[in-house]
Amino acid sequence: MKALIDRILKDGKCYPGGILKVDKFINHQMDPNLMKDIAVEFIRRFASTKVNKILTIEASGIAPAIMMGFLMNLPVVFAKKKKPNTLDNMLATKVTSFTKQRDYDVVISRDYLCPDDHVIFIDDFLAYGNAAKGIIDLCKQSGATLEGMGFIIEKAFQDGGQYLREQGVRVESLAIIESLENCEIKIKNAQ
């Protein structure tokens, strides 16, 4: 994903505490052509995977997930960070946001995450893996099969990727950040 890496190096901004801001092209203002390329790459990487649903968590995972769902002609379900009054028959878990430093009760309807589902989880970042751990919990509660997880950007210096891989989760990251020390973006590789 050379185009993604180029954009990270050109437009990404680093902040103290291991924060990489990519809101110019991924998670606030979005580049739809880049989102399409990201979705195509995830589809290529998961091509041999049995999948009938794309799963994400609000909000920044929705754009790449919906693009994937569109291209694969599959439904996209997103876990909500706030329980709507109209949501019955729900599964719930707690997720801590690294960037916002707060806990969320994440919910999803049992009607949309079922035992027959084979899902791929898509999100913008993998840092400590908190959102991913919440999704794993929701999949376990529902009986759905988690076929893999795709992340636009993984921060290798935080332990989320290592944790997920040690748990046997298939992880596909399009750009891996080795370090943000001294607010310098160092890309490890792009698989």
**Could you report the per-residue pLDDT of 34-74, keeping only the tens digit for each?**
999 999 999 999 999 999 999 999 888 899 999 999 999 99
Question: Is 61 within any annotated ligand binding site?
Answer: no
Q: Please identify which residue in the block is written with the tokens 């799963």.
A: 55
**Could you report the per-residue pLDDT of 66-120, keeping only the tens digit for each?**
999 999 999 999 998 877 667 678 898 988 876 677 888 899 999 999 999 999 9
Question: Is 36 within any annotated ligand binding site?
Answer: no
Long-range contacts for 2-11 (Cβ within 8 Å, ≥24 apart)?
A: 2/190, 3/34, 3/37, 4/34, 4/37, 4/38, 4/152, 4/174, 4/175, 4/190, 5/175, 5/187, 5/190, 7/31, 7/34, 8/153, 8/175, 8/177, 8/185, 8/187, 9/185, 9/187
pLDDT value at position 98? 66
Whether pLDDT at 18 is above 90: no
Domains observed in the chain:
2-187 (3.40.50.2020)
Question: Is 128 within any annotated ligand binding site?
Answer: yes
**Could you report the per-residue pLDDT of 169-185, keeping only the tens digit for each?**
999 999 999 999 988 89
Rg (C-alpha) for the chain, rounded Å, is 16
pLDDT value at position 189? 63
Question: Is 130 within any annotated ligand binding site?
Answer: yes
Instruction: Let me know: does 133 contact 153? Beta carbons within 8 Å.
Output: no
